[in-house]
Amino acid sequence: MNEMTRVAPNNLDAFWMPFTANRQFKQAPRMFVGAKDMHYTTADGRQVLDATAGLWCVNAGHCRPKITEAIATQAGELDYAPAFQMGHPKAFELASRLATIAPAGLDHVFFTNSGSESVETALKIALAYHRAKGDGSRFRLIGRERGYHGVNFGGISVGGIVANRKMFGTLLTGVDHMRHTHDPARNGYSRGEAEHGVELADDLLRIATLHDPSTIAAVIVEPVSGSTGVLPPPKGYLKRLREICDQHGILLIFDEVITGYGRMGTAFAADYFDVTPDLMVTAKGLTNGVIPMGAVFASGKIHDAFMGGPEHLIEFFHGYTYSGNPIAAAAGLATLDTYKEEGLFERAKALEPVWADALHSLKGEPHVVDIRTIGLIGAVELQPIDGQPTKRAFSAFLDAYENGLLIRTTGDIIAMSPPLIVSEAQIGEIVDGLRAILRRLN
Ligand SMILES: Cc1ncc(COP(=O)(O)O)c(C=O)c1O
C-alpha cells in the first residue's frame, strides 16, 4: 500500500452511506484503507481483527493472492462481454464448478450481482416456473417473520424486518409470512440447532390452508437467519418444511447468502441440515466478497420447464447487464480454488466446536441474555438499555472498533462470522476482546 491510499478524504458529504448512521459516522469516521488475511488496517494505521468476514462474505480472508491475481489477469484479457445472447468461457466454467459442489440435483446456475438480486431472481423463477407448467394460479410467495432477503421489493415483501418494510408502501401483493422460530425461553444458549420448535414448521400448513395450497408458488427461508441475530432452526424444522412443500406442490427456496460457501462447515447449509431446496440463493462468499456476484441454483425440474417452445425465443425474460461478468467469474473460480486447496470448508467444520466453546464462555458476563452458535456463526444477545433499544450493542461495536476488533450488531445482538482461516488463537482474541468490552459497557 502506498502512502496516498492512507490519506483520508476531507469531505464526506456526498456519499450517502447504506445501512449506516450517516451523521454519527461522519462526525467520527471509521475508515479502512487496507486488509490482509484476518485483519483490516485503519486510516490511522491500526490493525483491526475481522470477526465478521467483512459483511459475512470474505470467507477465505482478505487480499488472497490467487483471487487478486485472477481479477487482475482477467481485467487485462477480457474485461466485459455482453451477458445477453453472448457468452464467455469462464461463466460456463464457474457454473459447472458450482453445480459440482451444490447439493445433488441443483444443476443449473443463474448469475446475478448480489444477494438481493439473487432473491428477486429466485422469486421470479418460482412464479414463472408454475406458469410455464400451466399452473399460473400459484402466485403467492411465503416468507417468514424476522427473515432477511435483501432490500429489493420482492425481498422486503417476503422479508420480515419491520424497519426494512414500513417506509416502502404496499410492497408485493399475495405475500404471507410464517412465524419466526426464535424462542429464547425454551432454546436459550443453544449450540447448533435449537432443541425446540419443530412444530413451528406447521405454520406453513396453516397458511396453506388459509389461502389454499394450490395458490402458493414458493416459500423462502434462510436456513439460519443471520441478519436478525443468528437464529438457528429448530431440529427437524427444515425437513418438515420440505415435507409440507412436497405434499402441496410448493417450491422451497433456501436463501443461503450467508450460510453458503463453507460458513456452516459444509459447502451449503442444505448439506449441513441434509435438506435440498428447489432453488438456492447465494452471493457473498461466491467471490469471497471481492467482486459483486450472486448465483441462484435451480433444479433440473425447474430449469427444464422453461426449455420448451421455439428455440430462437428467449425462455426467461430476466437477467442483468453484469450476469456472469468475466471479472466476477474469474474471481469466483479463484475463490473456489482457494476454498478447495486450503480445505476451508473442512477447517470451518473442525473449528465449529472450538468457536462454540469460546463464545459460550461469555455466559454470565454483564448484559448477556443469550448466546447462539452454529457453524462459524455466533451471536451474543445483550439486554437492551431501557427506552434505548440498539444503543448498548452499538456502544459495544464502537468500543470494539477502537480496540482493534470488528464485530457487527443488529438490534441489541452482536453477530459474528469470522473468515474461515481464523486460527484458534484468534478465536481466543475475539472472545477475550468481547469479554473486556462487556465488562466496560454501561
Ligand atoms: C440472507 C440474506 N439474503 C440476502 C441478502 C442481501 O444480499 P446483498 O446485500 O448482497 O444484496 C443478505 C445480506 O446480508 C442476506 O443475509
Distance of CA 271 to the CA centre of its chain: 16
Q: What is the CATH number of the domain that holds 286?
A: 3.40.640.10
| pLDDT band per the 50, 70, 90 thresholds, residue 10 | confident
122-164 per-position pLDDT tens digit: 999 999 999 999 999 999 999 999 999 999 999 999 999 999 9
Task: Please give the share of the chain, as a percent, with pLDDT higher than 70.
Answer: 98
How far is CA 348 from each of CA 102, 106, 134, 353, rounded to the nearest angstrom? 17, 23, 44, 10
Residues 101 and 189 in one domain: yes
Q: What is the mean pLDDT of residues 432-438?
A: 98
Q: What is the CATH number of the domain that holds 48?
A: 3.90.1150.10
**Alpha-carbon span 325 to 39, nearest angstrom:** 28
| pLDDT band per the 50, 70, 90 thresholds, residue 442 | confident
226-249 per-position pLDDT tens digit: 999 999 999 999 999 999 999 999
**Alpha-carbon span 397 to 51, nearest angstrom:** 11
pLDDT at 115 over 80: yes
Mean pLDDT over each residue of the chain, to the nearest integer: 97
Residues 323 and 195 in one domain: yes
Residues 259 and 362 in one domain: no
Residues 229 and 209 in one domain: yes
Residues 354 and 420 in one domain: yes
- How is residue 255 annotated by DSSP? E
- Which of 308, 341, 374 finishes a domain? 341
When divided into structural domains, the chain yields a total of 2
DSSP string, 135-196: -TT--EEEEETT----SSHHHHHH---HHHHTTSTT--SSEEEEPP---HHHH-S-BSSBSS
Residues 188 and 301 in one domain: yes
Residues 358 and 323 in one domain: no
Residues 99 and 7 in one domain: no
pLDDT at 5: 53
Residues 17 and 126 in one domain: no
Residues 146 and 278 in one domain: yes
37-59 per-position pLDDT tens digit: 999 999 999 999 999 999 999 99
pLDDT at 9: 76
Q: What is the mean pLDDT of residues 254-263?
A: 98
C-alpha of residue 372 to centroid of ligand 1, in Å:
20
**Alpha-carbon span 194 to 196, nearest angstrom:** 6
Residues 47 and 116 in one domain: no
- Which of 341, 369, 401 finishes a domain? 341
Residues with CB under 6 A from ligand 1: 114-116, 119, 148-150, 222, 226-227, 255, 257-258, 283
186-234 per-position pLDDT tens digit: 999 999 999 999 999 999 999 999 999 999 999 999 999 999 999 999 9
Task: Please give the share of the chain, as a percent, with pLDDT higher than 90.
Answer: 97
C-alpha of residue 147 to centroid of ligand 1, in Å:
10
- Which of 341, 367, 383 finishes a domain? 341
pLDDT at 109 over 70: yes
| pTM, two decimal places | 0.97
C-alpha of residue 10 to centroid of ligand 1, in Å:
31
- Nearest-atom number in ligand 1 for the CA of 155 is 4
**Alpha-carbon span 259 to 331, nearest angstrom:** 19
Please give the residue range of the domain that contains residue 115: 68-341
Residues 335 and 348 in one domain: no
Phi/psi region, residue 367 (left: phi>0; alpha: psi -120 to 50; beta: rest), is left
Helix or strand holding residue 434 (H, E): helix 424-440
C-alpha of residue 260 to centroid of ligand 1, in Å:
11
pLDDT at 4 over 50: no
**Alpha-carbon span 71 to 87, nearest angstrom:** 18
Mutation pick for ligand 1 pocket among 120, 284, 286 (CB with most ligand atoms within 8 Å):
284
Q: What is the mean pLDDT of residues 68-94?
A: 98
Q: What is the mean pLDDT of residues 386-414?
A: 97
